[in-house]
Amino acid sequence: MDRTTSASMEMRSEGLGTTPSEHPAFAGRIELPYKLTTGRAASVFLAELASRRIVGSRCPSCARVLVPAQDFCAECGTAAEELVVVASAGSLSGFTETAAGVLGLIRLDGASTDLVHRILDAGLADLQVGQRVAARWAEEAQGSVLDIVGFAADDAPAASEEVRPLSDPSDPVIEQPYRLRLDYQHAYGPYYGRLFDEIATSRRIQGVRCPRCECVLVPPREYCDTCFVRTAEWVDVADTGVIKAFSIIHLEFVGQVREPPYIYAEIVLDGAATRLIHTVGGIEVEEAMERLHPGTAVRAVWKDGEPVGTLEDIVYFEPVFDD
């Protein structure tokens, strides 16, 4: 059977120029846990909030009091090692309102710089540059800048501009947990779109042929990576192939989708010039270490039921041994 289809680059579900919402997208997420090192100045600033003290650092070059405390003065490039306590009230020097609520820039009494924080119990119409505000403290300290819940309007007159040296500091908060989470809706584009459509509708894997080097590229793409010429022809490739390289994964890591141990392999499908990364299964790890080699033949094991149109429709590739 001639499995080569000459194609006119017709896009199945991905017709160019139509409105965005018609196109299915691939939902992706990046999620990473961090243990962030706070550094000297922030570690003390965060710890002192439990004692309801706001800590700044004094630059020895320009003598400004930087609040919240900074390890270096960004203007002088000098280490600002002297830690001081400033007032927990001050005046408002700027404000805005976003989806996060009303935010203010606050010049605490004794500070030379502004601090950004939440403004409580006030709409924008109530705010004026220069008005007095004071910190509202959380009931229970967590070692976070949110131990100050925010700043609210305050009638008390300005305290002395004098700053006090930091005495009897608490144990510093040297680390803060942080979890990054980013969500994506990735476009398939015309080439991946057709590849996955073909998998979903007919369990057929397609690549494109480069007219110059004649390589068949899987996944398909508009330009040949090595020749930088436009690929011109859609080609069916087999769901059988050979292992080019493989590794048995025992490591556990964040974002892992399979439980180790499992076999990761680069597979060249019959009819393709490129290596597809997938897994090898249907064989015990011990046996795989003995019997798998570059050149071992494999075939796709398709998932039961309706394919959905991803490479996960192939559960794994199983080795095909001559004996």
Partner 1 sequence: MFGRAINRVAVVASAQTKLRDAWSNRQHVDLISEAVVGALKGSGLRIEDVDFVIDCGSDILDGRSISNCGFLGAMGAHHKEESRVEEDGLWGALYGATKIGSGSAEVGLVLAYSKPSESDVSAFYATQCEPFYQRPVGFDHAAACGFQAQSYLASHSLSEEVFADVVAHDWALAAANSAVELETAPTAGDVRASSRVAAPLHELELSRPVDGAVAVVLASKRVAQRVCTDPVWITGIGTAMDQHSFAMRERDSLPACAAAAEAAYRRAGMDGPEGASLAELSASSAATQLMVLEALGLADPGGAARLYSEGSDVALNPSGGSLPADPIMATGLVRLSEAALQLSGRVGHGPEGASSAIVHGAGGVGMQNHCVFTLEV
Which residues contribute to the site for Zn ion (CB under 5 A)?
59, 61-62, 73, 76, 210, 212-213, 224, 227
Shortest CB 320 distance to partner 1, Å: 31
Partner from partner 1, Zn ion, none contacting 137, C-beta within 5 to 8 A by type? none
Shortest CB 297 distance to partner 1, Å: 28
Residues 6+ apart with CB under 8 A from 300: 239, 240, 314, 317
Judged by CB under 8 A, the residue of 3, 5, 12, 15 near partner 1 is 15
Is-cis flag, bond preceding 219, omega within 30?
Answer: yes
Cβ(57)–Cβ(80) under 8 Å? Answer: yes
Judged by CB under 8 A, the residue of 31, 214, 222, 284 near partner 1 is 222
Shortest CB 262 distance to partner 1, Å: 22
Partner from partner 1, Zn ion, none contacting 61, C-beta within 5 to 8 A by type? Zn ion
Start-to-end CA distance of the chain, whole Å, equals 28
Interactions with partner 1, residue window 87-126 (CB under 8 A): 94-101, 103, 105, 113-118, 124
What residue type is assigned to position 144 of the chain?
Answer: S
Judged by CB under 8 A, the residue of 3, 5, 12, 18 near partner 1 is 18
**What's the order of all strands across the beta sheet hosting 115-118?**
115-118, 101-108, 89-98, 132-137, 148-153
CA distances from 320 to 113, 240, 241, 300, 323 (A): 70, 9, 10, 10, 9
Q: Counting contacts by CB under 8 A, is residue 192 touching partner 1?
A: yes
State the Rg of the chain over Cα: 31
Judged by CB under 8 A, the residue of 223, 286, 302, 310 near partner 1 is 223
Shortest CB 69 distance to partner 1, Å: 9
Q: Counting contacts by CB under 8 A, is residue 131 touching partner 1?
A: no
Partner from partner 1, Zn ion, none contacting 103, C-beta within 5 to 8 A by type? partner 1
Judged by CB under 8 A, the residue of 36, 277, 285, 320 near partner 1 is 36
Residues 6+ apart with CB under 8 A from 166: 44, 48, 53, 55, 83, 84, 85
Cβ(78)–Cβ(64) under 8 Å? Answer: no
Interface residues with partner 1 (CB under 8 A) are 11, 14-18, 20-21, 23, 25, 28, 30, 36, 38, 42, 45-46, 66, 68, 70, 74-75, 94-101, 103, 105, 113-118, 124, 129, 144-146, 150, 176, 178, 180, 182-193, 221-226, 228
